[in-house]
C-alpha cells in the first residue's frame, strides 16, 4: 500500500486525575495518584477527507525521570511540557507527510529541544509517542482498517529510505516483508506485577485496610481471581530483604500455581552488574527459591540508567537474559545495549509505537543473522488505564507477536477510575470480550490468566470502537497553569 500523505488540522490536549485503589511501590517510589493525558487530533488527506484520532497515557512521576532533585509535581509538569512541545512542533510542520514520515522528521529536533529544557530523552519522547498513536488512529479510521491491518499493510509509511536515519543497523532490511508477516493473536497472557509493598497473603491484610471493592488485594487473591501463570517481581536492591520477600512470593506461587513463569525487575536499583549478580547468586543458593529461579525468563533493567549503557552485563546475561527498559530513550539504544550483552528491550506505549516496531524488526533481523532466537522484545506496563491506553498497548504488542504482557493498571486502579460511568459503560459495551461487569463496574477481564483481544483487532483505527467523554476532561495544564 502507498502510505497516505496528510496534514494536521487540529490538536487538542486534555487530562484527567486518576486515583489508585492501592499504592504502587516501584524502586524507592510509592505512587498513589497521577493524571492521565489525552490527545484528540484531526488530520486531512489531499482529497479533503478528514478524521479524528485519539490516544491516552498516564503521566507517571519518578519513572521517566528519577532525579532526586525533581519532585513528583516537577515530573508531571515535565511530561505536560513534552506533550505541549510535540503538539506545537507537529502542528507547525505544514509539509504533508506520512505518519512515520512526520514522526521521523520531528524526532531529533524534539529530543534536542527537550534537552535544552532539561528533559531527558525518555521524557522528551513522551509527547510524540501520544501524537503518533493518535495519528495512527485517525489514519486507520480514514481507510477503514483495524490497527493490525494498517500496520501490516504499512499504512503509516514506515519507509525503508527513512529508517537508516533513525536505525542505521536496519539499512537494507526488508521492512515491508517484516510488516506483512505480522499476525496478531486473539488472546495474550497477562503478567501480574507484584509491587514491593503489595500484600502477598490474605492474612497480611488488616480488617481496617480491606477495600471491599470486589477486587483482589493480595497475591493469593489475584491468583484465585484471574488464574495468572506469568508474574513480574519487583526487587528493591537490598539482598536480605529481597530474598525474604522472594521466598514469601515463591511459597505462594509454588503452592497456588502449577507451572508458572516470571520476570525479575531490578528497577535501576544497582550501580553495576555486580549488585544484581550477587542477588542472583543468593537466589540460586536458596533451596526454597529453586522453582522460582527456574521460572525466571529474564531480568529487567537492573542498572541505573546513567550507567546502564556503559556497563557490560554479559556475565549475568550468560545465566539469565537481561533487557533494557528505563534507558530506552532513543532509537539508538537497543544496538548500544546489544554490544554490552543485553538481549532484549521493552515495548511500552509511552515510549513510542514506532520505536517498538523498529525494535521488533531488529529482533527479527538479528535473530535471522545469527540463526537463533536470542534477541526478544518484551511487553511492559506503566499502569495503562482502561479505555484508550490499555487497548492501544494491547493491540500493539499483540500485533508484534508477543505472547505475554505485563498488566497492572487494572490492579492498582478500579476499572475506569475517575471516568464518568457513561464513558466506562460505552467502552465496555463496545468491547465486551475485554471488559466484564463486576460489583456494578466495568473492569478488565482476565480469565485463566489471559486477556481476549478479538474486539480490539476488529475496531477500525487504533483498537477502539468507543471514545472518552471529551466534555468531562480538563484542558492540559502547562507549567503556569494556563490551558493548551
182 lies in a domain? no
pLDDT digits (tens, 9 = 90+) for 376-420: 999 999 899 999 999 999 999 999 999 999 999 999 999 999 999
Closest to 129 measured CA to CA, from 60, 79, 168:
79
State residue 400's pLDDT score. 98
210 lies in a domain? yes
pLDDT digits (tens, 9 = 90+) for 443-453: 999 999 999 99
SS3 240: helix
Closest to 107 measured CA to CA, from 379, 306, 332, 377:
332
179 lies in a domain? no
Q: Residue 484: is its pLDDT beyond 90? A: no
Residue at which a domain ends, from 94, 115, 145: 145
Q: What is the mean pLDDT of residues 274-299?
A: 97
The answer to whether the CB of 52 falls within 8 A of the CB of 66 is no
State residue 41's pLDDT score. 98
| Claim to verify: residue 108 and residue 26 sit in the same structural domain | yes
Q: Residue 481: is its pLDDT beyond 70? A: no
State residue 26's pLDDT score. 82
Q: What is the mean pLDDT of residues 219-225?
A: 98
| Claim to verify: residue 139 and residue 200 sit in the same structural domain | no
pLDDT digits (tens, 9 = 90+) for 75-119: 999 999 999 999 999 999 999 999 999 999 999 999 999 999 999
State residue 216's pLDDT score. 98
The grid coordinates of residue 419 equal 471516568
pLDDT digits (tens, 9 = 90+) for 311-321: 999 999 999 99
Give residue 461's region: left, alpha or beta (phi > 0; psi -120 to 50). left
State residue 479's pLDDT score. 36
| Claim to verify: residue 192 and residue 134 sit in the same structural domain | no
| Claim to verify: residue 305 and residue 435 sit in the same structural domain | yes
The mean of the pLDDT values for the chain is 96
Question: In 22-53, which positions are buried (b, 16+ CB within 10 angstroms) versus exposed (e)?
Answer: bebbbbebebeebbbbbbbbbbbbeeeeebbb
| Claim to verify: residue 345 and residue 463 sit in the same structural domain | yes
Which range of residues forms the domain containing residue 61?
A: 6-145
State residue 392's pLDDT score. 98
Give me the percent of the chain exceeding a pLDDT of 90. Answer: 96
What is the number of residues in the chain? 484
The answer to whether the CB of 283 falls within 8 A of the CB of 292 is yes
pLDDT digits (tens, 9 = 90+) for 147-187: 999 999 999 999 999 999 999 999 999 999 999 999 999 99
Could you tell me which residues are beta bridge partners of residue 29?
26
Burial of 244 (C-beta count, 10 Å sphere; 0-12/13-18/19+): exposed
| Claim to verify: residue 87 and residue 215 sit in the same structural domain | no
pTM: 0.96
For residue 430, give the CATH number of its domain. 3.20.20.120
| Claim to verify: residue 96 and residue 238 sit in the same structural domain | no
| Claim to verify: residue 398 and residue 299 sit in the same structural domain | yes
| Claim to verify: residue 269 and residue 141 sit in the same structural domain | no
Number of domains in the chain: 2
DSSP letters spanning 267-301: TT-BSSHHHHHHHHHHHHH-GGGHHHHHHEEEEE-
For residue 57, give the CATH number of its domain. 3.30.390.10
164 lies in a domain? no
107 lies in a domain? yes
Confidence of residue 246 (pLDDT cuts 50, 70, 90): very high
Residue at which a domain ends, from 92, 113, 145: 145
152 lies in a domain? no
| Claim to verify: residue 412 and residue 274 sit in the same structural domain | yes
| Claim to verify: residue 238 and residue 367 sit in the same structural domain | yes
482 lies in a domain? no
| Claim to verify: residue 296 and residue 419 sit in the same structural domain | yes
Residue at which a domain ends, from 111, 145, 179: 145
Residue 440: what are its φ and ψ, rounded to 5°? 80, 5
The answer to whether the CB of 466 falls within 8 A of the CB of 54 is no
State residue 483's pLDDT score. 34
Burial of 326 (C-beta count, 10 Å sphere; 0-12/13-18/19+): buried
27 lies in a domain? yes
Q: Residue 371: is its pLDDT beyond 50? A: yes
State residue 482's pLDDT score. 32
Amino acid at each position: 500500500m502507498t502510505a497516505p500523505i496528510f496534514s494536521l488540522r487540529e490538536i487538542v490536549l486534555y487530562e484527567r486525575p486518576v486515583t489508585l485503589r492501592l499504592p504502587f511501590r516501584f524502586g524507592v517510589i510509592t505512587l498513589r495518584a497521577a493524571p492521565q493525558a489525552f490527545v484528540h487530533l484531526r488530520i486531512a488527506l489531499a482529497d479533503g477527507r478528514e478524521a479524528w484520532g485519539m490516544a491516552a497515557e498516564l503521566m507517571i512521576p519518578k519513572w521517566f525521570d528519577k532525579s532526586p532533585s525533581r519532585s513528583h509535581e516537577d515530573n508531571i509538569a515535565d511530561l505536560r511540557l513534552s506533550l505541549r512541545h510535540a503538539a506545537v512542533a507537529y502542528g507547525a510542520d505544514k509539509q504533508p507527510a506520512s505518519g512515520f514520515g512526520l514522526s521521523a522528521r520531528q524526532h531529533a529536533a524534539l529530543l534536542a529541544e527537550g534537552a535544552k529544557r532539561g528533559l531527558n530523552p525518555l521524557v522528551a519522547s513522551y509527547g510524540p509517542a501520544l501524537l503518533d498513536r493518535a495519528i495512527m488512529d485517525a489514519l486507520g479510521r480514514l481507510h477503514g482498517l483495524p490497527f493490525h491491518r494498517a500496520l501490516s499493510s504499512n499504512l503509516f509509511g514506515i519507509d525503508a529510505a527513512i529508517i537508516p536515519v533513525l536505525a542505521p543497523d536496519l539499512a537494507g532490511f526488508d521492512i515491508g516483508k517484516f510488516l506483512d508477516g505480522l499476525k496478531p493473536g486473539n488472546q495474550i497472557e497477562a503478567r501480574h506485577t507484584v509491587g514491593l509493598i503489595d500484600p502477598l497473603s490474605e492474612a497480611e491484610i488488616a480488617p481496617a485496610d480491606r477495600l471491599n471493592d470486589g477486587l483482589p488485594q493480595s497475591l493469593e487473591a489475584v491468583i484465585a481471581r484471574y488464574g495468572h501463570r506469568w508474574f513480574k517481581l519487583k526487587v528493591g536492591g537490598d539482598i536480605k530483604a529481597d530474598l525474604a520477600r522472594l521466598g514469601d512470593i515463591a511459597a505462594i506461587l509454588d503452592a497456588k500455581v502449577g507451572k508458572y513463569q516470571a520476570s525479575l525487575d531490578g528497577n535501576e536499583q544497582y550501580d553495576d552488574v555486580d549488585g544484581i549478580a550477587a542477588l542472583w547468586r543468593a537466589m540460586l543458593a536458596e533451596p526454597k527459591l529453586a522453582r522460582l529461579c527456574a521460572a525466571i525468563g529474564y531480568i529487567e533493567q537492573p542498572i541505573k540508567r546513567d550507567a546502564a549503557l556503559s556497563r557490560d552485563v554479559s556475565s549475568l546475561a550468560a545465566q539469565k537474559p537481561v533487557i533494557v527498559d528505563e534507558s530506552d530513550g532513543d532509537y539508538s539504544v537497543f544496538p548500544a545495549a546489544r554490544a554490552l550483552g543485553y538481549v532484549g528491550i521493552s515495548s511500552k506505549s509511552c515510549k513510542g509505537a514506532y520505536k517498538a516496531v523498529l525494535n521488533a524488526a531488529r529482533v527479527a533481523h538479528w535473530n535471522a543473522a545469527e540463526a537463533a532466537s536470542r534477541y526478544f522484545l518484551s511487553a511492559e506496563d506503566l499502569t495503562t488505564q482502561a479505555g484508550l491506553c490499555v487497548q492501544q498497548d494491547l493491540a500493539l504488542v499483540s500485533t508484534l507477536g508477543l505472547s505475554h504482557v505485563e498488566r497492572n493498571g487494572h490492579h492498582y486502579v478500579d476499572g475506569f477510575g475517575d471516568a464518568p460511568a457513561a464513558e466506562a459503560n460505552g467502552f465496555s459495551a463496545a468491547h465486551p470480550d475485554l471488559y466484564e461487569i463486576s460489583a456494578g463496574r466495568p473492569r478488565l477481564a482476565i480469565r485463566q490468566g489471559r486477556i481476549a483481544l478479538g474486539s480490539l483487532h476488529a475496531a477500525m483505527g487504533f483498537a477502539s470502537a468507543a471514545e472518552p467523554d471529551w466534555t468531562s476532561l480538563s484542558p492540559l495544564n502547562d507549567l503556569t497553569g494556563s490551558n493548551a
